[in-house]
Amino acid sequence: MGLEEAILQEVREQGIEQEKRLVVIRTHEKGFPLTDIADITELTVEEVEQIIAAYKAGQQD
């Protein structure tokens, strides 16, 4: 894999992670249980809780 391909792959992965964070926030705001959010996004409950906490902390700025 060349440098350009590696960079594109990294950008794709970052985009996927950003989309997962967005899904976590939106489903949390809709009242979904954390276990369901984790299942949907293929994250752990702890990762879901961290994303939600970071989002809430960012809202307070």
pTM attached to this predicted model:
0.81
Each residue's pLDDT, cut to its tens digit, for the chain (61 residues) gives 798 898 888 898 888 899 999 999 999 999 999 999 999 999 999 999 999 999 999 886 5
Distance CA 31, CA 48 (A): 13
Q: How far apart are CA 59 and CA 53, in angstroms?
A: 10
